[in-house]
Amino acid sequence: MRILITGAAGFLGSHLVDRFLAEGHRVIGMDNFITGSRDNLAHLAGNARFEFIEHNVSNYIFVDGPVDGVLHFASPASPVDYLRHPIPTLKVGSLGTHNTLGLAKAKGARFLLASTSEVYGDPQVHPQPESYWGHVNPVGPRGVYDEAKRFAEAMTMAYHRYHGVPTRIVRIFNTYGPRMRAHDGRVVSNFVVQALSGEPLTVYGEGNQTRSFCFVSDLVDGIFRLFHSDRVDPTNIGNPTEFTMLELANLVQEMVGSHVAIRHEPLPVDDPKVRKPDIGVAQAVLGWNPTVDLRAGLVRTIEYFRGALPQGR
C-alpha cells in the first residue's frame, strides 16, 4: 500500500512511519514542522519507500499518484503546544481534517483520524468507554484542542455516512517513549528531563490526579491493527493501568537515581482529575493489549533522554 501520514515528523507520526515501512508499505510523510522535528525522520534518508512533503495540511493538499491510506496525525498535541498555537490547532482539526478526508475520498483511500482522550474532557465517568460523550468546557483554554478533535470526529463520521469513505477513529490516551520533545509539557517528559537535569519535579496540585501511560510501541501496534480492521466507530487505545502524578514522580526519581525535590504548582484550568481508558473494544475487536509496563517503558525513555539532552545528562 501507499500510505500518507500527516504529522509524520512528530513523536507519534514518526513511529507510525517506521511501522508501516517495516510492514513493507510505501509511505509519504507530510509535516510543516510547527511542532515536529526533522531529526525524527533523519534515519530514513535514502529509503526508497519513503518520500516527504513539507506542507501545512490546513491548506489544500495535492499528492500525485495513488494513495491507499491516509492517517491524519497532524496537530499540536500537548498543552504547551496548543496553548501556544491555539488557532493553528483549531485549523488543523477542522480544515486539516476536511482536506485529508477530501484527499481520501478523491483517492478511494482508507482514512484514520488521530483523536484523543481529551474528547472526554474532565470525565464524570470512570474509566472512559467509547460510549461516553464527555464533559468538556468549549470556551476554556483547553477547548481549542478538545473541540478541534471533537469536530474532527464529527467530520470523519459525516464523510463516512454521506460519502462512504472507509474511516477509522482512534482515541489516544497518554503515550510516552523515545522522540518525545524535552520541553513539550507532557508529564513523563517533564519529570524525566527535570530529574536528569537535577531540577525539582513539577507536580500540579496535590498530585492526586491520575493518568494511564501507554508506551509508544504498544500504541502504534493498536493503531496499525485498527487501520486494517473494519471498525468504524471511535476506539480507545491506551494502557488502563492508572497512576497518580505523585506516584509517577516518585518512580522517575527512583529510576533516574535523582533525589531532587518535588515542587507543587497550582492546578491548570480544566485539568482532568482522572483519565483511564476502557479498552474492552480494542481487546475484543482488535485482539490488542498493551504489553510494556510503565517501569520497562521508562527505562527506554530515560535512556533516550540521556542521549538527547545536552552533555548527555
> What residues make up the domain containing 192?
176-211+241-275+292-312
Q: Look up residue 23 and give its amino acid.
A: E
Residue-wise pLDDT for 22-55, tens only, equals 999 999 999 999 999 999 999 999 999 999 999 9
- Provide mean pLDDT across the span 117-128: 95
With contact defined as beta carbons under 8 Å apart, do 68 and 104 qualify? no
Bridge partners of 265, per DSSP, are 204
For the annotated catalytic residues, the residue numbers are: 145
Do residue 153 and residue 219 come from a single domain?
yes
Do residue 252 and residue 159 come from a single domain?
no
pTM of the model: 0.95
The yes-or-no verdict on residue 313 having pLDDT over 60 is no
Do residue 149 and residue 247 come from a single domain?
no
Which parts of the chain fold into alpha helices (H)?
11-22, 79-84, 86-107, 143-158, 187-196, 216-227, 245-256, 280-281, 294-308
- CA torsion 50-58-111-287 (nearest 10°) is 80
DSSP assignment string, 237-282: ES---EEEHHHHHHHHHHHHT----EEEEPPPTT--S---B--HHI
CA distance 309 to 196: 9
Do residue 220 and residue 72 come from a single domain?
yes
- Provide mean pLDDT across the span 222-226: 98
Cell of 19: 511501522
**For residue 192, what is the domain's CATH number?**
3.90.25.10
Residue-wise pLDDT for 137-148, tens only, equals 999 999 999 999
Do residue 112 and residue 134 come from a single domain?
yes
For residue 280, tell me if it sits in a domain: no
Cell of 36: 515536529
Q: How confident is the model at residue 269 (pLDDT cuts 50, 70, 90)?
A: confident
**For residue 151, what is the domain's CATH number?**
3.40.50.720
- How many domains are there within the chain? 2
Provide the b/e sequence for 58-74 (b: ≥16 CB within 10 Å): beebebeeebebbbbbb
pLDDT at residue number 311: 59
pLDDT at residue number 259: 83
Q: In percent, how much of the chain has pLDDT > 70?
A: 99
Do residue 184 and residue 166 come from a single domain?
no
For residue 223, tell me if it sits in a domain: yes
For residue 118, tell me if it sits in a domain: yes
Residue-wise pLDDT for 225-260, tens only, equals 999 999 999 999 999 999 999 999 999 999 999 888
Do residue 148 and residue 232 come from a single domain?
yes
Do residue 181 and residue 130 come from a single domain?
no
- Provide mean pLDDT across the span 283-291: 98
pLDDT at residue number 310: 77
The yes-or-no verdict on residue 312 having pLDDT over 50 is no
